[in-house]
Amino acid sequence: MTTQALDEIKIGGLGSSRKRVEDDRFIRGKGNYTDDVVLPGMLHMEILRSPLPHARIKSIDTSKAWAVPGVHLVLTGEMMATRNLAWMPTLSYDTQAVLATDKVRFQGQEVACVIADDPYIAKDACELIEVDYEALPPIVNPWQGLEPDAPVIRDDKVGQDGNVIYNWEVGDKAGTDRAFEQADLVSKLELHYPRSHPSPIECCGSVADFNRATQKLTVYMTTQAPHIIRAAVAMVAELPEQMIRIISPDIGGGFGNKVPVYPGYVCSILASILLERPVKWIEDKTGNLISTGFARDIYLKGEMALRKDGKILGVRMHTDADHGAFFSDAQPSKFKIGLMHSAFAAYDIPAAHLTARGVYTNKAPGGVAYRCSFRVTEAMFFQERMVQAAAADLGIDQAEFRRMNFVRDDDFPHRTPFGFLTDSGQYAKCLDVGLKAIDYENFRKEQAEARKQGRLLGLGISTMTEPLGAGNSREYDILGIKMFDSAELKIHMTGKAILRTGAKSQGQGHETTWAQIVAHELGIPADDITVEEGDTDTAPFGMGTYASRSTPVAGAAVAMVSRKIRAKARKLAAHLLEVSEEDVEWELGRFYVRSAPQRGVSIQECAMAAYSNMPDGMEPGLENTAYYDPPNLTWPFAVYIVTVEVDRETGVWDVLRMVAVDDCGVRINPMIVEGQIMGGLTEAYAMASMQFITFDADGNCVGSNYMDYLLPSAWETPGYELHSEVVTPCPHHPIGAKGIGECAAVGGPAAFVNAVMDALEETGVRNIDMPVLPDRVWEAITYRRDVSGAPPIRQD
Residue 302: strand pairing partners? 189, 317
Among the residue ranges 54-62, 166-174, 238-246, 252-260, the one whose residues contact ligand CUM (CB under 6 A): 252-260
Q: Minimum distance from CB of 483 to ligand CUM (Å)? A: 13
User: What is the per-residue burial (b if ≥16 Cβ within 10 Å, else e) of 481-499?
Assistant: bebbbbbbbbbbeebbbeb
Q: Which residues 6+ apart lie within 8 Å of 783 measured at CB? A: none
Which amino acid, 196? S
Among the residue ranges 39-47, 251-259, 342-350, 479-487, the one whose residues contact ligand CUM (CB under 6 A): 251-259
Instruction: Answer whether 647's CB lies under 8 Å from 488's CB.
Output: no
- Identify what 672 binds: ligand CUM, ligand MCN, none; CB under 5 to 8 Å per kind: ligand MCN
Burial-class residue 31 by CB neighbours within 10 Å (0-12, 13-18, 19+).
middle
Q: Which residues 6+ apart lie within 8 Å of 226 measured at CB? A: 246, 247, 248, 504, 534, 535, 536, 539, 544
- Identify what 673 binds: ligand CUM, ligand MCN, none; CB under 5 to 8 Å per kind: ligand MCN
Interface with ligand MCN (CB under 6 A), residue total 36
547 scored as a contact of ligand CUM (CB under 6 A): yes
- Identify what 737 binds: ligand MCN, ligand CUM, none; CB under 5 to 8 Å per kind: ligand MCN
375 scored as a contact of ligand CUM (CB under 6 A): no
Among the residue ranges 35-43, 227-235, 253-261, 683-691, the one whose residues contact ligand MCN (CB under 6 A): 253-261
Among the residue ranges 127-135, 393-401, 740-748, 773-781, the one whose residues contact ligand MCN (CB under 6 A): 740-748
Q: What is the DSSP letter of 553?
A: I
With CB under 6 A as the contact rule, the residue among 256, 263, 460, 736 that binds ligand CUM is 256
**Sites for ligand CUM among residues 735-764 (CB under 6 A):** 742
Query: What is the full DSSP assignment across 386-440?
Result: HHHHHHHHHT--HHHHHHHHBPPGGG-SEE-TTS-EE----HHHHHHHHHHHHTH
Residue 100 or 483: the one with the smaller Cβ distance to ligand MCN is: 483
Q: Which of 107, 109, 224, 691 is catalytic?
A: 224
Q: Which of 113, 126, 267, 372 is catalytic?
A: 372
224 scored as a contact of ligand CUM (CB under 6 A): yes
Q: Which of 357, 371, 657, 776 is catalytic?
A: 371
Instruction: Please state, in angstroms and as integers, the Cα–Cα distance from residue 43 to each residue in 85, 175, 211, 213, 470, following that order.
Output: 21, 62, 14, 19, 38
With CB under 6 A as the contact rule, the residue among 96, 144, 447, 545 that binds ligand MCN is 545
293 scored as a contact of ligand MCN (CB under 6 A): no
Q: Minimum distance from CB of 233 to ligand MCN (Å)? A: 23
Instruction: Please state, in angstroms and as integers, the Cα–Cα distance from residue 458 to each residue in 191, 252, 451, following that order.
Output: 20, 37, 10
Instruction: Answer whether 317's CB lies under 8 Å from 399's CB.
Output: no
With CB under 6 A as the contact rule, the residue among 255, 360, 420, 592 that binds ligand CUM is 255
Q: Minimum distance from CB of 373 to ligand MCN (Å)? A: 7
Residue 644: strand pairing partners? 458, 655
510 scored as a contact of ligand CUM (CB under 6 A): no
765 scored as a contact of ligand CUM (CB under 6 A): no
Residue 316: strand pairing partners? 303, 353
Residue 260 or 703: the one with the smaller Cβ distance to ligand CUM is: 260
- Identify what 510 binds: ligand MCN, ligand CUM, none; CB under 5 to 8 Å per kind: ligand MCN
Among the residue ranges 252-260, 270-278, 347-355, 472-480, the one whose residues contact ligand MCN (CB under 6 A): 252-260
604 scored as a contact of ligand MCN (CB under 6 A): no
Q: Which residues 6+ apart lie within 8 Å of 750 measured at CB? A: 380, 381, 383, 384, 385, 388, 460, 462, 640
255 scored as a contact of ligand MCN (CB under 6 A): yes
- Identify what 508 binds: ligand CUM, ligand MCN, none; CB under 5 to 8 Å per kind: ligand MCN
With CB under 6 A as the contact rule, the residue among 197, 371, 504, 510 that binds ligand CUM is 371
Q: Minimum distance from CB of 674 to ligand MCN (Å)? A: 10
Query: What is the full DSSP assignment across 75-128?
Result: EEHHHHHHTT-SEEE-TTS-EEESS-SSEE-STT-EEEEEEESSHHHHHHHHHT
Residue nearest to ligand CUM (CB): 256
Q: How far apart are the first and last CA of the chain?
A: 81
Active site residue 372: yes
Q: Minimum distance from CB of 469 to ligand MCN (Å)? A: 8
CA 99 to chain centre: 27
Binding mask 363-392 for ligand MCN (x = CB under 6 A): --------x---------------------
Instruction: Answer whether 643's CB lies under 8 Å from 456's CB.
Output: no
C-alpha closest to that of 259 among 299, 224, 209, 227: 224
Instruction: Please state, in angstroms and as integers, the Cα–Cα distance from residue 763 to each residue in 38, 183, 191, 392, 757, following that order.
Output: 60, 27, 18, 13, 9
Active site residue 742: yes
Q: Which of 742, 743, 766, 776 is catalytic?
A: 742
Binding mask 190-209 for ligand MCN (x = CB under 6 A): ----------x---------
C-alpha closest to that of 253 among 366, 370, 331: 370
Among the residue ranges 186-194, 409-417, 535-543, 673-681, the one whose residues contact ligand MCN (CB under 6 A): 673-681
Burial-class residue 448 by CB neighbours within 10 Å (0-12, 13-18, 19+).
exposed
420 scored as a contact of ligand CUM (CB under 6 A): no
Please count the CA atoms within 13 angstroms of the CA of 67 that sit on its side-chain side. Answer: 7
Q: Minimum distance from CB of 56 to ligand MCN (Å)? A: 37
- Identify what 507 binds: ligand CUM, ligand MCN, none; CB under 5 to 8 Å per kind: ligand MCN
CA separation for the pair 263, 618 (Å, rounded)? 51
> Quick one: which H or E segment has residue 485?
strand 485-491
Among the residue ranges 108-116, 171-179, 237-245, 659-667, the one whose residues contact ligand MCN (CB under 6 A): 659-667
Interface with ligand CUM (CB under 6 A), residue total 13
**Sites for ligand MCN among residues 485-524 (CB under 6 A):** 506-510, 513
> Quick one: which H or E segment has residue 701?
strand 701-702
Residue 784: how many other CB atoms lie within 10 Å? 12
Length of the chain: 796
**Sites for ligand MCN among residues 546-565 (CB under 6 A):** 546-551, 555
Residues forming the site for ligand CUM (CB under 6 A): 224, 254-256, 259, 369-373, 546-547, 742
Please report, as ranges, the residues that interact with ligand MCN according to CB under 6 A.
200, 253-256, 371, 506-510, 513, 545-551, 555, 664-669, 672-673, 676, 679, 737-742
Active-site residue set:
224, 371-372, 742
